[in-house]
Structure 1
Amino acid sequence: MQNTSEQKFDLDISGMSCASCVGRVERALKKVEGVENANVNLATERANVDANNQVKAEDLIQAVTQAGYSASLHHAATAQHIQLAVEGMTCASCVGRVERALKKVEGVESASVNLATERADVDFNAPTVAQDLITAIEKAGYAAQILKQQQNRDLDQKREEEAQSLYKDLILAVVLAAPVFILEMGGHLIPAFHHWIMANIGMHNSWLLQFILATLVLIFPGRRFYKIGIPALFRAAPDMNSLVAVGTLAAYSYSVIATFLPQLLPEQSIAVYYESAVVIIALILFGRYLEAKAKGRTTQAIQHLIALQPKIAHRKNGDHFEDVEITSLQSNDIIMIKPGEKIPTDGTVIDGSSYVDESMMTGEPIAVAKTIHDKVIGGTVNQQGSLTVKTTAVGEQTVLAQIINMVEQAQGSKLPIQTLVDRITLWFVPAVMLLALITFFVWLFFAPQAGLSLALVNAVAVLIIACPCAMGLATPTSIMVGTGRAAEMGVLFRQGEALQRLKDSKVVAFDKTGTLTLGQPQLTDFICVEGQDETNLLRYAASLESQSEHPIADAVVHAAKEKNLSLFPIQQFQAIVGSGIQGQIEQHKVYLGAVRFMQSLNLSVSHFSIQAEQLANQGKSPFYLAIDDQVLAILAIADPLKPDSLSAIQALHTLGLKVAMISGDNKTTAENIAAQLGIDTVIAEVLPEEKVQALTQLKQQYGVTAFVGDGINDAPALASADIGIAIGTGTDVAIETADVVLMSGSIQGVVNAFALSQATIRNIKQNLFWAFAYNVALIPIAAGILYPINGTLLSPMFAAAAMALSSTFVLTNALRLKRIRISQH
């Protein structure tokens, strides 16, 4: 559906801990007047908002803040922090001038200048470059140079810091909770230890010591739950933190009353549960720590892509090259890439030749030859030779930046399958709190012999076991890992929704030229008269064709180049339109053309009649090479099938898909190719504008249809298909009409896209099943449903452990997608 919104906001959200939080943030954003859509992702901690021109970022941030969370505008991966050494400042006025000069530069977000250290710290975004900042300072009358430059803090760093903070709190909680657990549970488990406590410490003193240690746990490592959870309760919007806060405070408060005011409790109910409160906090912190570490691994694909770009470039300055920060590069700069170096940015080769390893971008293992006029992609690796390149794109315009942006958008998107989950989880926490309250009163009034303490324990167990972290992480983590792995395999999902729609496809329709075929004429056959030297005759043919501009000529010359054949000088070259070409090579008259050209020269081709018929039946065009008065070779030009077309189509059939081909070629040629590949349906002799009608026909016949095209001439078809898959060549990634873009020209990428789609959706369903099954199975047990049958109760401590493990399981299961391997071809 076409989005009519005029603005898109990307917000970083902090404070979310479960799926309920996601629902509340989305509701808060959607209530802002002018907001058309809001999509919040727990795994990426981001919100994508579509709004009209009346909405300001401050309105959205305020709405999120009022909902109890923190928000800020997201800084793209290209955001930079730079530290400049500034010379010439003598007073506070100088500081003010430099700061004002820097803040006037377009793209600068903040600038702070320190007179004592003579340094300026600047945060800025593309299209600003470091040189712009230095120039601004120089115009203000001072001198500056780069001291240090780095990417702004990204999600990976943020999660690492979060993990470190959780680790410190976890260690403190364990150190303080261990004595509490030993004092209380040790006495229950080991009677001799109980007697030792009674004789040497005393029960009341033991409870006092537990009170002190438990209070420290709640105040310090546990404060994160109360700081967020308690305000959420007052807003009538409880979340996971609220469940932990209520559960642990209930156990702690009951224990405090039993310690200091026991007369308020029935005698049979006097007991303390300090150990439950502190162990719950320790276990949940442990689960949060594992979750933070696992979440960090879900962003590794993005970090890998960012790391592809080098930091330094060799830029031409006058007659020499100097090392500069890559951020200072501008379009049309001349840079040099030495053997073994990464190419800093996109550009065109203007001098030199080499082989470039583009496998990191396309997944293709074979290095690509590069010479003058060839394009190179930033992040790929130059191998043997030295290249001089004119930059054509820098910053956000580079292919690598587009890829990173595409992957981030896909990772932050929400699949249709998530919509139902969100509806459920929004009301899940309030429902759990109500269930815990019911559990408490059922035990209190219908099982009075069990006492107040067991009513409390079971209610706390229900609160703790039901935290919906796993539900909130089930879908987004699988999307993050799946789309990240896809990017590493050269498959870019421009929209996360394409993951699910691709899995639902019934038929894959291929454009023929440039998709199933190589898209360029090639010399497929070269057959000589017996006794002739094939290599020498190919030199004659290529030398003659080197003077021609016909596409067929390129195929013959290219074949000679691949064999490193040197070409003869040509004299008296002449092209006979529609027939062939002729010229003189080493005193020999050489002719090359179709059969009618040979007949016009009264040269016989009868000795090649069998081969000519065979080639024609294969859909190839035969041509003849004659030297002086004898036809010595027959050669065939065709647009051959890609080597992996057959295996890819077989793999698609294995995945349960029908395969169709849409072609502008004549029906005989199209059906011949379809027969070779095992294609189910052929629609031939269609004009480009008729491909949309052909797709409509396939939709009616099969259902959900995916269309695979080269992304250049197939834009209408790519847009009209249920899922458009564009086959690129590394530089064609910004194809706006496609849902999925393949960096490689290989159609094996189509198989990878379908396989990834199926694996990711399967992984999401596994996560959702276990997240919901876990709650459905364990909440009744926590409430004590098995107690009348076999006396089984679920300790709040075990509930906390199970809750922590559920989130860890979901994340670990999602990370299995990283092990999907690239299909071989």
Structure 2
Amino acid sequence: QPAEALVVRGGKEVVMPVTALIAGDLVRVRPGEQVPVDGVVTEGSSSVQESMISGEPLPREKETGSAVFSGTINGAGVLTVQATHVGSDTVLGRIIRTVREAQASKAPIQRLADKIAGIFVPIVIALAILTYIIWRLTGVEDADIYGLLCAISVLVIACPCALGLATPTALVVGIGRAARNGILVRNAEALERFAAIDTVVLDKTGTLTKGKPQVTQAHWFVPDEEVPALRRLLYSAEILSTHPLAAAVCRAFVGDGSTVELSDVQNYAGRGISFTYEGSVYNVGSAAFVAESGATVPSSVSAPPDDAAVLFFACGDKMLGRFCVTDELQPQAAEVLEQLRRHKVRTVMLTGDRPEAAESLARKLGLEEYRGGMMPSDKADYIRMLRSQGHHVAMVGDGVNDSEALSMADVSVAMGDGSHIAMEVAGITLMRSDLRLLPAAYELSRATRRTVKGNLFWAMCYNLIAIPIAAGLLFPLNGFLLSPAIAGAAMAFSSVSVVANSLRLRTKRVPLLR
């Protein structure tokens, strides 16, 4: 993040520390400079390199009304940006805070190490005392001195530094590497649990598909002269919805003029939206949603394509229109599902789209398990059912309607370009819209867990071997005694070996990770 910013206050440009900025400030960003705040461009146009946030290598064009983010790099133009978020409230600030909190958090296996250390320390103290007593009882010359030296050696060499470092060092390296590659881990527990999953449940729109659906067919069941007014009405309603299909309708009808004032607007998650205009109640959504008011599709209308999601527009019991929306598949979706299957991870697709559309997509992806026509609560119930059967479940989604299901899973994974509520619920966020990060995160979490277990194993083995030697086990055989100074060096070596083993995660070969 830049340290200073050029701020426009009272008609003058003033260089100020970034820490002194407040929301609402106008910031001038010159060519080649880093954007110091999250905000909206109010003047100028330029291309901005956002790879540190989005992971996309190509710069993005910015003009009046475009959003920009702290830490990104301005191109050749001059931009005036009105700050909406500053300091730690920016996207970059939240990423930094999340990574710090994750690296400082404790995984369940760390709590196990703490318990082991809690038992191990008093046992070692007892062994040191016992060592001194046994030496006193041997009756050898200078038994007091030998006993004291061996007792000190036992205490020094058994210092549980390696045991305490085994988990946090591996987690810090694993979470840090994940963050550098666009995988944001909320806490250590999420990373550890992700390594144990056996089932991945995926939402369709925005996860397996690009999340930019387009209206490909529009059928109006009213006279042509009524269509323009209804298009404006539909646009005015759908712009108030957060569903991806509503966004497709907005993109299709955005050129139809200004919006109209609606009343009694109500969003029904996963079903549709209702509103009142000039005393009439209108419904937009699924067939089941508009059918509740008695509206049906004329029998003369052909069936929609199998791979299309369908929206209906009705006024009371009168059907006004039907819209077919299709969404392009993520180019790497089939490859990702195959990678998960190679890891023996079960994959399931849940979607609110028609069962026919779900079946068509499942055939393209080679998915054997899928469910269509699912409400948000149905997705959550399905995950709850899987967990009751003993499965460890990860849910991948990107929308508001996925948040309930995400909260039910053992590990929740959100797509970075999805809704804020999905990312708030998620334990892991894929900051780039690249689904290949999902198996990469899974492999990295497994490698991190293996490293933790390896660290704990070798730390315990080291102590089991070193403590008897420090106590003088070899003295009757060859007269060898371990001095406290050598014991201290050996103890330090065990800690160094644990850290070195954890650092191997930095170079662990994981596809798509650098």
Query: Which interval holds the TM-score relative to the shorter structure?
Result: 0.7 to 0.9
Pick aligned residue for 2:71 from 350, 374, 379: 379
The CA distance in 2 between the partners of 1:766 and 1:808, in whole Å, is 14
CA contact (8 A) 1:662 1:694 kept: no
Deviations 1:500-542 (A, max 9, x none): 2111111111111111111112599xxxxxxxxxxxxxxxxxx
Give CA deviations for 1:371-395 in whole Å, capped at 9, x if unaligned.
Answer: 3322211112223433221111112
Q: Cα distance 1:452–1:393, how it changes in 2: closer, same or farther (>3 A)?
A: same
Residue 619 of structure 1, CA deviation: 5.1
Following superposition of structure 1 onto structure 2, how do residues 235-634 of structure 1 map, counting pairs within 5 Å?
Answer: 309-446=1-138, 448-449=140-141, 451-522=143-214, 551=248, 554=251, 616=305
Partner of 2:411: 723
Give 1:804 shift. 0.8
Distance 2:438 2:479 in 1: 56
Structure 1 residues not aligned, in runs of 5+: 1-308, 525-544, 559-595, 601-611, 622-635
CA distance, structure 2, for counterparts of residue 764 and residue 371 of structure 1: 48
What is the CA deviation profile of residues 526-578 of structure 1, one whole-angstrom value per residue up to 9, with x for unaligned ones?
Answer: xxxxxxxxxxxxxxxxxxx9xx96946947999xxxxxxxxxxxxxxxxxxxx
Equivalent position SS for 2:344: coil
State the Cα distance separating 1:620 from its structure 2 match: 9.4
Aligned residues of 2:399 and 2:419 also touching (Cα < 8 A): no
SS in 1 for 2:425: coil
- Give the superposed CA RMSD: 3.3
Distance 1:732 1:377 in 2: 15
Amino acid at match of 1:401: G
Moved more, 811-820 or 714-723: 811-820
Residues 315, 807 of structure 1: CA spacing in aligned structure 2 closer, same or farther, 3 A cutoff? same
Match of 1:658 among 315, 324, 346: 346
Determine the C-alpha separation between the residues in 1 that align with 2:206 and 2:87: 30
CA–CA distance in structure 2, aligned partners of residues 368 and 673 of structure 1: 31
Deviation per residue, 1:235-294 (Å, 9 max, x gap): xxxxxxxxxxxxxxxxxxxxxxxxxxxxxxxxxxxxxxxxxxxxxxxxxxxxxxxxxxxx
Q: Which has the higher helix share?
A: 1
Amino acid across the alignment from 1:644: Q
Distance 2:506 2:59 in 1: 25
Instruction: Give the aligned residue type for 1:365.
Output: P
Once the two structures are superposed, what CA deviation does each residue of 1:317-342 show, in whole Å capped at 9, x if it has no partner?
A: 34453322111211111112222211
Residue 337 of structure 1 aligns with an amino acid whose one-letter code is V
Offset of residue 618 of structure 1: 6.0
- Seen in structure 2, the aligned counterparts of structure 1 residues 654 and 372 have a Cα distance that, compared at 3 Å, is farther
Distance 1:366 1:518 in 2: 18
Shift of 1:311: 0.9
Change (3 A) 1:734 1:675: closer
Whole-angstrom distance in 2 between the partners of 1:427 and 1:701:
35
667 and 348 in structure 1: CA distance in 2 versus 1, 3 angstrom threshold: same
Higher RCO (C-alpha under 8 Å, 6+ residues apart)? 2
Q: What is the letter of the counterpart of residue 411 of structure 1? A: Q
Deviations 1:650-690 (A, max 9, x none): 22223331111100112222122222223341011112232
Specify the SS of the correspondent of 2:401. coil
Question: 1:742: how far off?
Answer: 2.3
Q: Which stretch has the larger CA shift, 767-776 or 426-435?
A: 426-435
Report whether the alignment pairs 1:779 with 2:467: yes
Which of 329, 335, 338 is matched with 1:641 structurally?
329
For residues 569-589 of structure 1, give each alpha carbon's deviation from its aligned partner in whole angstroms, at most 9, with x where no partner exists: xxxxxxxxxxxxxxxxxxxxx
Match of 2:439 among 751, 754, 768: 751
Deviation (angstroms), 1:693: 1.5
Q: Which amino acid aligns with 2:212?
A: Q
* 1:678 maps to amino acid: G
CA distance in 1, matches of 2:106, 2:339: 29
Query: 1:816 aligns to what SS in structure 2?
Result: helix
Cα shift at 1:730: 8.6
SS of residue matched to 1:347: strand
Q: 1:90 aligns to what? A: none
What CA distance in whole angstroms lies between the structure 1 residues aligned with 2:88 and 2:377? 33
SS of alignment partner, residue 347 of structure 2:
strand
Closer, same or farther: CA 784–763 of 1 in aligned 2, 3 Å:
same
> Is residue 796 from structure 1 mapped to residue 488 from structure 2 by the alignment?
no
Q: Structure 1 residue 677 and structure 2 residue 355: aligned?
A: no
Structure 2 gap ranges (5+) = 217-230, 236-246, 256-297, 311-323
Matches within 5 A, 1:83-94: none
* Deviations 1:360-413, CA, capped at 9 Å, x for gaps: 223333333333322211112223433221111112321222222212221221
Is contact 1:521-1:555 (8 Å) kept?
A: no
Per-residue CA distance 1:783-802 (angstroms, 9 max, x = gap): 12233345443333322211
Say which is worse superposed, 334-343 or 636-645, in terms of deviation: 636-645
Cα pair distance change 1:767/1:795, threshold 3 Å: same
Does the 8 A contact of 1:733 with 1:743 survive in 2? no
Of stretches 454-463 and 666-675 in structure 1, the one that deviates more from structure 2 is 454-463
**8 Å contact 2:215–2:325 — kept in the other structure?**
yes
Question: 1:617, CA displacement in angstroms?
Answer: 6.4
What is the DSSP-based 3-state SS (H/G/I as helix, E as strand, rest coil) of the residue aligned with 2:14?
Answer: strand
* 3-state SS of paired residue (1:349): strand
Output the CA distance in 2 between the equivalents of 1:491 and 1:743.
Answer: 6
TM-score after normalising by structure 1: 0.48
Write the letter of the residue equivalent to 1:521: P
**SS, match of residue 448 in structure 1:** coil
1:461–1:782 contact (8 Å) kept in structure 2: yes
Look up the SS of the partner of 1:403 in the other structure. Answer: helix
Aligned to 2:314: none
Distance 1:492 1:619, change over 3 A: same
Residue aligned with 1:824, SS = coil
Residue 433 of structure 1 and its aligned partner are, at CA, apart by 2.5
| Residues 357 and 417 of structure 1, relative CA distance in 2, 3 Å threshold | same
Q: 1:401 to 1:429 in 2, by over 3 A?
A: same
Larger-Rg structure: 1
Distance 1:369 1:445, change over 3 A: same
Contact 1:555 1:637 (C-alpha < 8 Å) held by counterparts = no
CA distance in 2, matches of 1:363, 1:819: 20
Q: 2:458 matched to which residue of 1? A: 770
**Equivalences, count:** 431
Partner of 1:815: 503
Give the aligned partner of residue 703 of structure 1: 391
Percent identity of paired positions between Structure 1 and Structure 2: 42
> How far apart in 2 are the matches of 1:362 and 1:755?
22
